């Protein structure tokens, strides 16, 4: 009578409110021989179909955003008569628009397939980037950058959701790394593109205008290809056979996070708002992104401050991309082999802290030391794919995942709003407060990574201690039941 009864397993009764994979698997039960599918070959097939588009989208989103950085040494301030903090404000309003747009993103990513939503927005931000070439004043540039921020807001959440549909939690880390590596590649390409366009002389159009126009048009083409060639879900991938789809869905079911559902579950949003782990991830992302904002907007300006010409400043910015690529690859494949995301996060903050210290305390006459500092700060960008993948791995329930991805992506924009604002005109040319902010925020991010690790360890131990109250037969039932990580007693957090 007083004996505690096992918790009832969630009932999977139909498609309403449940993941699309449930209906597909029920309709194909026993109809395929999925165990005979070679998962290694299947993963490679998916990689070849998805990664080129995802990588190109991420390269272009950074290029279109960072072109303002390079335009600063190409004469945009003089041509548009930007004075005082106009340039900083232009960078800041991009991220304010980015942040505001994350609110409707939660709803749109619940109702529209992430691939379609991504492709449409990439097409539109290409148009906004091209429109920047026509700016004749500070106000014109500001409007173009605001629209660019609105359309770019979906890039992080969409790519996170697409990646989580096709890969297990351990497989996601190197895939996040592949598309996020586009940031470092874009930084290298950006320096070379800027260098090239600074040698383009046209009677009626400045080099930076041509640069914005060309990159914007290329972006729109890639957006159109993404819209039509990335499937809505694995279930709708025409290049996968029925047996491959079943094998894939069964394989990723171990995530217990689902693939896609169009039902907006408000209780999952409320749970996310009250979730300690999500706020720790959010604050960590903000701290990391302060440095990212500095790199994105002001690295060329800092280098030009040494007296280099515009073309040379652009070229000297490219080694930062190499540092970014190296650390992004290191942590992506390191997590695949060893997990311990928190430790890799801390590892990347160390060169960032050293770089921030060199920037802050070396005299400006020490050009080599300060340049090394600027390059080392780029290691910090490798922490962002860790945080993105961590969020997707530890947030279950489609509405909660959509909300979490938008919240973390939004917090990235908060850090990037703060970053450029640490560069105030009255602090030129040293910008010492901004450099100290880089050092302090990265150190704080390292501390919070350890706090996250301790929280996940404590939560998993608490769940292990109550495991006897859970009927082991319900584990399979919870895989596609649409439960959140809090609702699912068999869910375990990765750290």
Tell me the DSSP string of 255-323: G-S-S------HHHHHHHHT-HHHHHHHHHHHHHHHHHHHHHHHHHHHHHTTT--HHHHHHHTTHHHHH
pLDDT at position 465 is 86
Helix (H, G, I), strand (E, B) or coil at 489: coil
Residues of the chain short of pLDDT 50, as ranges, are 1-16, 31-33
Angle among Cα 204, 207, 212 to the nearest 5 degrees reads 105
Q: Phi first, then psi: give them for residue 193, nearest 5 degrees.
A: -65, -45
In a domain, 472, yes or no: yes
Using left for φ > 0, alpha for ψ between -120 and 50, and beta otherwise, residue 256 falls in left
In the DSSP assignment, the letter for residue 360 is H
- Helices 207-229 and 182-197 cross at an angle (nearest 10°) of 150
Which pair of structure tokens corresponds to residue 419? 């970053």
In a domain, 246, yes or no: no
Question: Exposed (0-12), middle (13-18) or buried (19+): which is 311, by Cβ within 10 Å?
Answer: middle
pLDDT at position 294 is 67
pLDDT at position 373 is 86
pLDDT at position 261 is 65
| Domain around 367 | 20-27+49-239+252-478
pLDDT at position 286 is 92
Question: Exposed (0-12), middle (13-18) or buried (19+): which is 430, by Cβ within 10 Å?
Answer: middle
Which pair of structure tokens corresponds to residue 324? 């970014």
Q: Phi first, then psi: give them for residue 205, nearest 5 degrees.
A: -145, 130
In a domain, 6, yes or no: no
- Helices 319-338 and 367-377 cross at an angle (nearest 10°) of 40
pLDDT at position 12 is 35
CATH number (domain holding residue 135): 1.20.1250.20
Q: Phi first, then psi: give them for residue 494, nearest 5 degrees.
A: -100, 145
pTM for the model stands at 0.79
Contact present, 194 and 104 (Cβ < 8 Å): no
Please state, in angstroms and as integers, the Cα–Cα distance from residue 410 to each residue in 122, 343, 415, following that order: 18, 24, 9
Segment 412-434, tens digit of pLDDT: 888 878 876 777 777 776 777 77
Angle among Cα 25, 29, 35 to the nearest 5 degrees reads 90
Cα atoms in the 13 Å half-sphere on the side-chain side of 49 = 21
In a domain, 490, yes or no: no
In a domain, 184, yes or no: yes
Alpha-helix runs per DSSP H in 362-397: 367-377, 383-394
Contact present, 396 and 485 (Cβ < 8 Å): yes
When divided into structural domains, the chain yields a total of 1
In a domain, 9, yes or no: no
Tell me the DSSP string of 67-86: HHHHHTTTTHHHHTT--TTH
- In b/e form, how buried is each residue of 373-406, taking b as 16+ CB within 10 angstroms? bbbbbbbbbbbbbbbbbbbbbbbbbbbbbbbbbb
Contact present, 373 and 355 (Cβ < 8 Å): yes
Please state, in angstroms and as integers, the Cα–Cα distance from residue 488 to each residue in 67, 154, 408, 482, following that order: 45, 28, 22, 9
pLDDT at position 231 is 93
pLDDT at position 29 is 59
Angle among Cα 397, 400, 402 to the nearest 5 degrees reads 105
Which pair of structure tokens corresponds to residue 30? 């026993």
In a domain, 389, yes or no: yes
In a domain, 41, yes or no: no
Contact present, 448 and 345 (Cβ < 8 Å): no
């Amino acid at each position: 009578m007083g004996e505690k009864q096992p918790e009832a397993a969630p009932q999977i009764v139909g498609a309403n409110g449940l993941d699309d994979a449930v209906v597909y698997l029920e309709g194909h039960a026993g109809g395929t021989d999925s165990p005979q599918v070679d998962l290694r070959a299947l993963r490679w097939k998916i990689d070849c179909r998805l990664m080129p588009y995802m990588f190109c989208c991420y390269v272009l989103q950074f290029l279109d955003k960072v072109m303002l950085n390079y335009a600063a040494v190409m004469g945009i301030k003089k041509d548009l008569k930007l004075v005082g903090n106009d340039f900083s404000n232009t960078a800041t309003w991009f991220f304010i628009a980015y942040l505001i747009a994350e609110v409707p993103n939660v709803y749109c990513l619940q109702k529209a397939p992430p691939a379609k939503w991504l492709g449409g927005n990439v097409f539109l931000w290409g148009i906004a980037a091209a429109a920047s070439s026509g700016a004749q004043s500070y106000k014109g540039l500001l409007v173009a950058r605001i629209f660019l921020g609105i359309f770019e807001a979906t890039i992080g959440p969409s790519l996170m959701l697409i990646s989580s549909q096709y890969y297990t939690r351990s497989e996601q880390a190197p895939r996040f790394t592949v598309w996020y590596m586009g940031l470092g590649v874009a930084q290298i390409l950006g320096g070379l593109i800027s260098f090239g366009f600074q040698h383009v002389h046209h009677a009626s159009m400045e080099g930076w205008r041509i640069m914005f126009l060309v990159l914007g048009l290329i972006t729109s083409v890639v957006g159109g290809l993404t819209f039509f060639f990335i499937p809505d879900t694995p279930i709708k991938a025409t290049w996968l056979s029925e047996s491959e789809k079943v094998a894939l869905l069964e394989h990723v079911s171990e995530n217990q996070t689902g693939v896609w559902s169009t039902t907006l579950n408000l209780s999952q949003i409320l749970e996310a708002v009250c979730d300690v782990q999500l706020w720790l991830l959010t604050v960590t992302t903000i701290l990391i992104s302060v440095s990212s904002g500095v790199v994105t907007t002001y690295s060329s300006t800092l280098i030009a401050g040494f007296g280099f010409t515009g073309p040379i400043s652009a070229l000297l910015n490219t080694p930062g991309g190499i540092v970014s690529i190296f650390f992004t690859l290191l942590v992506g494949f390191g997590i695949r082999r060893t997990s311990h995301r928190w430790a890799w996060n801390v590892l990347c903050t160390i060169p960032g802290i050293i770089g921030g210290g060199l920037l802050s305390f070396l005299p400006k006459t020490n050009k080599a030391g300060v340049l090394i500092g600027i390059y080392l700060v780029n290691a910090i960008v490798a922490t962002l794919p860790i945080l993105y993948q961590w969020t997707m791995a530890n947030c279950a329930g489609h509405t909660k995942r959509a909300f979490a991805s938008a919240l973390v992506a939004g917090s990235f924009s908060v850090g990037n709003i703060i970053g450029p604002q640490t560069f105030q005109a009255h602090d030129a040319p040293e910008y010492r407060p901004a450099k100290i902010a880089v050092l302090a925020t990265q150190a704080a991010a390292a501390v919070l990574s350890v706090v996250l690790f301790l929280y996940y360890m404590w939560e998993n131990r608490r769940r292990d201690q109550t495991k006897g109250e859970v009927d082991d037969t319900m584990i399979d039932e919870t895989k596609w039941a649409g439960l959140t990580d809090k609702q699912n007693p068999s869910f375990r957090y990765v750290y």
